[in-house]
């Protein structure tokens, strides 16, 4: 049965219906606005993440490019130094006082040239570029110290600050390996007093122990023998230095005949310094200028750092 309504009641019903319609429209619009707001917030969040990602990516590219530029600059500097020191070494007409060191420097340079020629084999390795860079520095320093030691005091302009002899960049590294090594190294630096006529010999006596113990700590005899039971050993049944170097290079992912040859030759080169200054036969040559002492210290310090770098598996 149809309910009859009065005109006023009809108007009331129409108003109620209109009100409900407006409420439904308002609710719909609020939901649309809320959806659009959330959508815009999500778009803004995504855009912000994209901008942050792009900024980080650009920063990483900038850092990489800066490192490439620095690396290339170091390579150019080392190559120039090698060429200059090699010319100087080969053109020397003076009496050679340290023939052992000179011969060792030439042998190391020959080994480096072979390593450099095979550089492409290392560039693909995770630590290959760094290894080549440091190897190049070792060769440059080896040639430099040979020339520096042969230079007569009359020809050398020596404006070197004596405090540089006590500065070092490997203290924290040695402390990590062994606090005893760090203490021994500090003692070695302390002996580098220009007024000490036996400064080089005292320095090399202490530094040699640091150098040798890095090999023994990072490549213990038992570990090397376990890793390669058929390795070459000494008369006492201990792995040779070359076998220890092979083990370290293998652990570092850098093992090859070229790398073993160069690192072994580099160790021989540093040890030749120790032998010359420990044999007590160099007489008046035991007194060195600050420049000469600094050259010896730099050669040994970088040699220690280089050996430790191939000992680090990280």
- Per DSSP, the residues of 34-65 read HHHHHHHHHHHHHHHHHHHHHHHHHHHHHHHH
Which residues, other chains included, contact 187 with Cβ-Cβ below 8 Å and sequence gap of 6+?
Answer: 206
Does the structure show a pLDDT above 60 at 286? no
Place of tokens 């960049």: 169
Does the structure show a pLDDT above 70 at 156? no
pLDDT at 202: 83
Rounded Cα distance between 213 and 207, Å, is: 10
Whether 228 and 247 have beta carbons less than 8 Å apart is answered as yes
Does the structure show a pLDDT above 60 at 280? no
Rounded Cα distance between 4 and 135, Å, is: 106
What are the distances in angstroms from CA 146 to CA 143, 205, 243?
5, 19, 27
- Supply the DSSP symbol for 233: B
What are the distances in angstroms from CA 215 to CA 67, 85, 129, 253, 305?
30, 29, 23, 17, 12
Does the structure show a pLDDT above 50 at 153? no
- Domain residue limits, the chain: 73-311
- Supply the DSSP symbol for 288: -
Share of the chain above pLDDT 90, in %: 39
Rounded Cα distance between 271 and 267, Å, is: 6
Average pLDDT over residues 260-270: 96
């Amino acid at each position: 049965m149809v309910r009859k309504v009065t005109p006023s009641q009809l108007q009331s019903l129409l108003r109620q219906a209109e009100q409900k319609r407006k409420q439904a429209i308002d609710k719909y619009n609020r939901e649309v606005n809320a959806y659009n707001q959330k959508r815009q917030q999500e778009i803004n969040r995504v855009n912000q993440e994209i901008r942050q990602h792009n900024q980080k990516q650009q920063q990483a590219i900038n850092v990489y490019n800066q490192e490439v530029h620095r690396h290339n600059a170091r390579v150019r500097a080392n190559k120039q130094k090698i060429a200059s020191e090699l010319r100087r070494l080969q053109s020397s007409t003076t009496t050679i006082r340290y023939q052992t060191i000179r011969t060792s420097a030439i042998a190391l340079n020959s080994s480096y040239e072979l390593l450099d020629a095979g550089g492409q084999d290392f560039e693909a390795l995770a630590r290959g570029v760094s290894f080549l860079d440091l190897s190049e520095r070792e060769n440059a320093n080896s040639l430099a110290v040979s020339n520096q030691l042969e230079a007569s005091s009359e020809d050398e302009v020596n404006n070197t600050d004596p405090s540089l002899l006590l500065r070092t960049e490997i203290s924290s590294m040695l402390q990590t390996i062994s606090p005893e090594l760090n203490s021994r190294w500090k003692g070695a630096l302390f002996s580098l007093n220009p007024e000490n006529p036996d400064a080089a010999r005292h320095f090399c006596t202490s530094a040699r122990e640091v150098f040798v113990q890095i090999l023994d700590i990072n490549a213990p005899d038992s570990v090397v023998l376990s890793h390669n039971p058929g390795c070459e050993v000494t008369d006492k049944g201990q792995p040779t230095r070359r076998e220890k170097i092979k083990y370290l290079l293998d652990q570092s992912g850098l093992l090859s005949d070229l790398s073993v040859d160069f690192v072994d030759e580099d160790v021989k080169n540093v040890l030749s310094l120790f032998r010359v200054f420990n044999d007590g036969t160099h007489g008046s040559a035991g007194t060195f200028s600050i420049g000469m002492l600094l050259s010896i210290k730099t050669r040994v310090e970088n040699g220690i750092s280089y050996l430790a770098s191939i000992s680090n598996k990280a």
